[in-house]
Amino acid sequence: MVYRVTASRQTPFHNLRATLMGLVLLAILPALGLALYHGLALRAQARNEAQAEAVKRARNLAAVQKEHYEAVRRLVETLAATTVVRVIDPKGCSLLFSQLKAQSGEGLANILAVSANGEAIGQAVPEAGDLFAPETSPLGVPTYAGRSWFTTVSQTKACVSEPFALTPDGRPAMTVACPALGWDGQVKAVVAASMTLDGLLQSADAATDGVVGVLAPDGVLLAAHPAEVAAVGTQVAGSSLARTVLASPSGNAEVPGLGGSPKLVGFDRLLPGLSGSPTVFVEIPLEEAYAPARKLLVEQTLWLALVGLVGLGVAWALGSRLLVRPITVMAGAAEAIGRGEFSVRLDAAGQITELSRLGRAFNRMAEGLEERQADLDQKTKELENSNKDLEQFAYVASHDLQEPLRKITSFADLLAKRCSGQLDENGQRYVAYMVDGARRMSQLITHLLDFSRIGSRGKAFVPADLNEPLDAALENLELSLQEHQAVVSRGALPMVTADAAQLCQLFQNLIGNAVKYRGQAAPAIAVTAERRDKAWVVAVADNGPGIAPQHHERIFRMFQRLQADQDRRGAGIGLAFCKRIVERHGGRIWVESEEGQGSTFFFTLPDAEGPSA
C-alpha cells in the first residue's frame, strides 16, 4: 500500500511554533474575550455610576435649597403669628427680624413686615435696598401695596412663594410671604422673606470641584460657581446645555458646558412643587467623571495582555522543548537517512506518547531501509560483476564472431573472383547476398558492442559549449549534407555539463536521420535550445515526411525501422543510441511529429551539474 501526502498551499502557520502559538491563542481567545467583555461591562457600570453620581450631586444641592426653602417658609409662617407683627410693633419687628436673620446664615437676605395698607412695619436689613425696595404712592408715601406677593396674600389670605428672579441689582432672589390674621380673620399684616442662592452656592463650593449653575425656566443663568465661568443673567436658552437641562425635571447627559467643552452634566429641579422652579446643574469634566471607568478598562486590558503573553510564552517554551526540539532532531535524522546514513536512530525515551510512537516507527523504518540498502548493495555488486562479465562476454563474442565473418567475407570474395566466369547470374547474385549479409552482421555486432559500452566507456562530464559537438557532427556529415544540399541552421546554444563526444554522436545520429529519411524537398534542419524547469531543452527539427503518432515510442527501440527500402539502409539502432546517451546525461528524449508535417526531436540536458558519469 502506498501512502501519498499531498502538499497543501502554504499558510501563515507553516512554522510549528507559529502554529502552536496560534492554537494557544485560539484556546485562550474565549477566556480573553469573556474577560474583555466583563471589563467592558464593568466600564459601562462605572460610567453609569459616574452619571448617577452627577445626578446625585445635583439632587443634593437641590435638597439643600429645598430644605432652606422649607425652613424659611416655616419661619415666615411662625413670624406671621407673632404678637409683635399682629400689634404692629415696628421696633419689636425690626429687632426680632434682625436677630433671626443673623441666626439663619447665608441664603436669607431680608425679612419684612408690611401692614394691611401696604406700609412697612419693620425689616431685618433696612439698607437692603432693591431686595425689598418699596414703591412710592401718588401721595409720596413708600408702599408695598403694588407688589404681587402682597396683593396675592391679601386676596387669598394664604402663603405664597414667588419664583427666583434677578433683582435690579443683579442678584437672584425669591420671596416667601404669609398673612398675619387678626381675631376677626382679616389680614392685619403680611410677613415676607427674601431668599437668595448663596446657601446653595456655599454648599456647592464644599461639595464639588466642578461647575455648578442654576437656570431659570426661560434659560437665564441665575447663578454660577465658580463665578468666573459665566456672568449671572446670561441668556443661554439656545445652547445644548439649556435645552437638555430644561427638557426634563432630572437626569444626566454629555453636552458642552458653559465653557464650551464636553462635560458630564447632572441636573435636578430646585423646588419641584413650585411652578417656575429653576433647575440646578452640575458640570463634571469627562476625564474626571470617567477616570475610574477608564482606569478599570486599562487595568483589565493590561491584565488580559499579561495573561496572553504569559500563556504564549509558556506555550513557546513548552512547545520548543516538547515538540519543536524532538521534531527538529527527527528532521535531522531524516536528512541523514536521505544522505544514505541508514545507521542513524532516535532516542524516543521521555517524549510525549505520539512523538515516542513516531520515533519508534522512524527507527523501524531506518532498520528496514538499512536492511534493504545492504541487500541492494549486494545486488548492485552482483549486477556490476554480471555487467562486467557480460561486457567481457560481448567483447569476446564480438571478437570471436568477427573472425569467422571475415573469413566468410574473404572466401566469398575469392569465390566470386575465381568462379566469375563459371557462375550464372543467379550464382553471382547469391554470392553477393552472402557477402552483403556477412558485412551487415559484422556492422550489427560492432553496433551492439558500442551500445553496450555507452555507459561504461563514456568520458567524464565536463562543462562544454554545445556548439562544439554540433560542429564536430556537421563536419562528420559534411559529404552527406553537400550531396543532398541539406541546410542546417542553429539558434543560440548554451554551456552544459556533459560528455562532448557522446553529444557529437547524438547530433550526428539525429541530423543524419533527417538527411537519410528526407522528403522531396532539400533537407532543412534547425537546431535550437531553450531553458525550461532548470533544464535545457534542445530541439532538432526537419522538413521530412514525418512520423505517425503510433510510432513515436517504437522508433527508440533497438532494430526498429519504419522504412526498409534499400536506398535508405540502416541498422535500426541509431535512435536507441540517442536514447541511451540522453538517459546517461540524466535527460529524456521524445519526438513530436505528424505525417507530412516534418519531425522535431527533443532532448533535455540538466542545467546544473550533470549526473555523475
Indicate which CATH number applies to the domain containing 109.
3.30.450.20
Whole-angstrom distance, CA of residue 331 vs CA of residue 388: 39
pLDDT grade for 130, boundaries at 50, 70 and 90 = low
pLDDT digits (tens, 9 = 90+) for 422-444: 777 777 777 777 777 777 776 66
pLDDT computed for residue 79 by the predictor: 93
Instruction: Measure the CA–CA gap between 445 and 153, rounded to whole angstroms.
Output: 149
Averaged pLDDT for residues 90-106: 88
For residues 334-347, give the mean pLDDT. 78
Looking at residue 432, which CATH number applies to its domain?
A: 1.10.287
pLDDT value of residue 576: 82
- Evaluate if residue 290 carries a pLDDT over 80: no
- Distance CA(534)–CA(528), nearest Å, equals 17
Is the predicted pLDDT of residue 608 greater than 60, yes or no?
no
Query: Is residue 177 a contact partner of residue 191, using CB atoms and an 8 Å limit?
Result: yes
Is 512 a domain residue? yes
The CATH number assigned to the domain holding 563 equals 3.30.565.10
Domain count, the chain: 3
pLDDT at 373: 80
> Can you list the alpha helix ranges (DSSP code H) found in 14-136?
16-80, 83-86, 90-104
Mean pLDDT score across all residues of the chain:
80
Instruction: Tell whether 512 and 430 lie within a shared domain.
Output: no
Which has more pLDDT, 267 or 357? 267
Distance between CA 527 and CA 518 in Å, rounded? 16
Q: Is residue 363 part of a domain?
A: no
- Report yes or no on 477 lying in a domain: yes
Neighbours of 119 (CB within 10 A): 17
Q: Determine contact, residues 311/298, Cβ cutoff 8 Å.
A: no
* 607 contacts 536 by C-beta, under 8 angstroms: yes
Residue 312, domain member (yes or no):
yes
Average pLDDT over residues 246-271: 89
Model confidence at 179, in pLDDT bands (50, 70, 90)?
Answer: very high
Same domain, 495 and 590: yes
pLDDT above 50 for 2: no
Q: Does residue 237 form part of some domain?
A: yes
pLDDT band at 233 (very low <50, low <70, confident <90, very high): confident
Asked if residue 482 and residue 403 are part of one domain, the reply reads no
| Structural domain span for residue 166 | 11-339
Res 77 pLDDT > 80: yes
Q: Determine the Cα–Cα distance for residues 108 and 123; give it in Å rounded to an integer.
A: 12
Identify the bridge partners of residue 179 per DSSP, sorted by sequence position.
190
Cell 448663596, residue located: 198
The predicted model gives 139-168 an average pLDDT of: 87
- Establish if 351 belongs to a structural domain: no
Q: Is the pLDDT of residue 335 over 60?
A: yes
On whether both 282 and 163 belong to a single domain, the answer is: yes
Q: What per-residue confidence (pLDDT) applies to 607?
A: 73
Whether residue 162 sits in one domain with residue 15: yes
Q: Do 188 and 298 share a domain, yes or no?
A: yes
Q: Average pLDDT, stretch 349-368?
A: 75
Residue 236 and residue 376 share a domain = no
Same domain, 335 and 203: yes
Assess whether pLDDT exceeds 50 at residue 11.
Answer: no
The pLDDT score that the predictor gives to residue 410 is 78
Burial class, 575, CB count within 10 angstroms (exposed 0-12 / middle 13-18 / buried 19+): buried
More confident residue, 135 or 31: 135
Q: What pLDDT is stored for residue 400 in this prediction?
A: 65
Domain boundary among 339, 362, 378: 339
**Greater pLDDT, 171 or 405:** 171
Confidence (pLDDT) at 457: 57
The number of C-alpha atoms within 13 Å of 559 and in the hemisphere containing its C-beta is 7
Domain check: are 129 and 197 in the same one? yes
**Within a domain: 252:** yes
Q: Is 195 buried (19+), middle (13-18) or exposed (0-12) by CB count in 10 A?
A: buried
Radius of gyration of the chain (CA): 60
pLDDT at position 191 over 70: yes
- For residue range 559-607, what is the model confidence (pLDDT) as tens digits? 656 654 444 455 567 788 788 888 888 888 998 888 888 899 999 988 7
**The last residue of a domain, from among 286, 321, 339:** 339
User: Does residue 347 lie in a domain region?
Assistant: no
Whether residue 520 is found in the same domain as residue 546 = yes
Same domain for 570 and 551, yes or no, is yes
- DSSP-assigned letter for residue 129: G
User: Where does a domain end: 424, 457, 490?
Assistant: 457
The whole-angstrom separation of Cα 194 and Cα 107 is: 9
Asked whether residue 497 falls in the same domain as residue 543, the answer is yes
